C-alpha cells in the first residue's frame, strides 16, 4: 500500500518564518531553525522551505539558512524561491537541499525543468503551480506567478501536463484563493491535477483542521499533503496530524524515532542568535 507523506511547509521572509493568507504575509511566526527542530521529533516526512521575500533574487542570508537547516534536518529538505537558472539550483543543493521547488522560473523558462531533471534527476525537480479560478480556462483554473500576483494566461492543467513532460518529478498544487483560509484544500483543483499527470501530486494551501489532510488524499487523490500555518501553534502538531490520518484509514509512515519525548524549548528564538552559534 502506498504510504502518503505529510509535509511541513515553512515560508521564509527576511530570515523569519511567516504565515500567509491568500499569498499575502500576515504575521511573523519565528525562527526556521526552531521549527525544524520540533518537526524532526514530530513525525513529519519532509520539510519544504520557500523564500518569499520581495527581493528580486535570492540572498546569501537565505543560503546560510538552508545550509544550517540541512545540518539539523533528519528528513528530506526541499527548498524553493528565486530559482531562475541552473546555477541557483546548484547553490541550493550544495547548501544541503535534497530537492528544489520551481514556480515562476519554470513558467518563464520551461526548459529549466528539463535542465534540473537532466543534471540532478527528476526526483529533484518539483514544480509548484499556483492557481486561481477562471471560468475562461478549459480546466477552470489559471496559473499565477510572482507569489500569486501575476496571471499568466496559462490553463493550469495544460501547464501541469507540460511540466511533467519536461521532466518534473513532482507537482505542488496550491490555490491562491484557499491559501491560509482554513477551509481545506481546493479539492476540485487537486483532483483535476492528480488525474491528469503520472507523477506524485502534493496538495497545498488552506488546511484548517486535520480532516482537511485526509480529504486531500481521499477526495483530492493527492499523493502527499502539505500544510504550514496550522502546524505553528499546536504542540506535537505534525505527530497529531499523522495519528489522525492513520485513524482515518490513510496509510502513513511511522518510525520508532518519533516515540522519543523531545524536550520542551522556547517556541522560537531569533535567527541571529542561532546563526552566531553555528
Q: pLDDT class for 17, splitting at 50, 70, 90?
A: confident
Query: What number is the average pLDDT over the span 110-133?
Result: 98
| pLDDT, the chain, mean | 86
Residue numbers annotated as active site: 130
DSSP bridge partners of 143: 131
pLDDT of residue 87: 95
Residue 254 scores a pLDDT above 60: yes
pTM over 0.85: yes
Residue 272: the pLDDT is: 43
Amino acid at each position: 500500500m502506498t504510504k502518503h507523506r505529510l509535509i511541513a511547509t515553512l515560508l521564509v521572509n527576511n530570515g523569519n518564518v511567516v504565515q500567509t493568507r491568500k499569498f499575502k504575509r500576515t504575521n511573523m511566526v519565528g525562527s526556521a531553525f526552531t521549527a525544524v527542530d520540533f518537526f524532526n521529533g514530530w513525525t513529519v516526512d519532509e520539510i519544504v522551505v520557500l523564500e518569499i521575500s520581495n527581493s528580486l533574487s535570492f540572498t546569501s542570508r537565505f543560503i546560510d539558512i538552508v545550509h544550517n537547516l540541512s545540518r539539523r534536518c533528519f528528513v528530506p529538505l526541499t527548498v524553493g524561491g528565486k530559482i531562475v537558472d541552473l546555477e541557483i539550483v546548484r547553490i541550493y543543493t550544495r547548501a544541503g537541499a535534497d530537492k528544489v521547488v520551481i514556480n515562476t522560473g519554470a513558467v518563464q523558462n520551461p526548459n529549466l525543468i528539463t535542465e534540473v531533471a537532466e543534471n540532478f534527476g527528476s526526483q529533484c525537480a518539483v514544480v509548484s503551480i499556483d492557481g486561481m479560478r477562471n471560468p475562461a480556462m478549459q480546466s477552470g483554473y489559471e496559473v499565477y506567478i510572482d507569489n500569486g500576483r501575476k496571471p499568466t494566461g496559462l490553463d493550469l492543467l495544460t501547464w501541469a501536463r507540460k511540466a511533467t513532460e519536461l521532466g518534473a518529478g513532482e507537482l505542488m498544487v496550491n490555490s491562491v484563493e484557499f491559501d491560509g483560509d482554513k477551509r481545506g484544500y481546493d479539492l476540485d483543483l487537486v483532483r483535476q491535477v492528480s488525474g491528469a499527470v503520472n507523477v506524485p501530486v502534493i496538495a497545498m494551501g488552506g488546511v484548517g483542521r486535520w480532516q482537511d489532510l485526509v480529504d486531500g488524499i481521499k477526495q483530492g487523490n493527492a499523493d502527499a499533503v502539505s500544510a504550514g500555518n496550522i502546524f505553528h501553534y499546536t504542540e506535537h502538531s505534525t505527530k497529531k496530524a499523522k495519528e489522525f490520518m492513520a485513524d482515518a484509514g490513510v496509510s502513513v509512515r511511522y518510525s520508532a524515532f518519533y516515540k522519543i519525548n523531545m524536550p520542551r524549548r522556547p517556541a522560537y528564538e531569533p535567527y541571529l542568535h542561532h546563526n552566531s552559534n553555528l
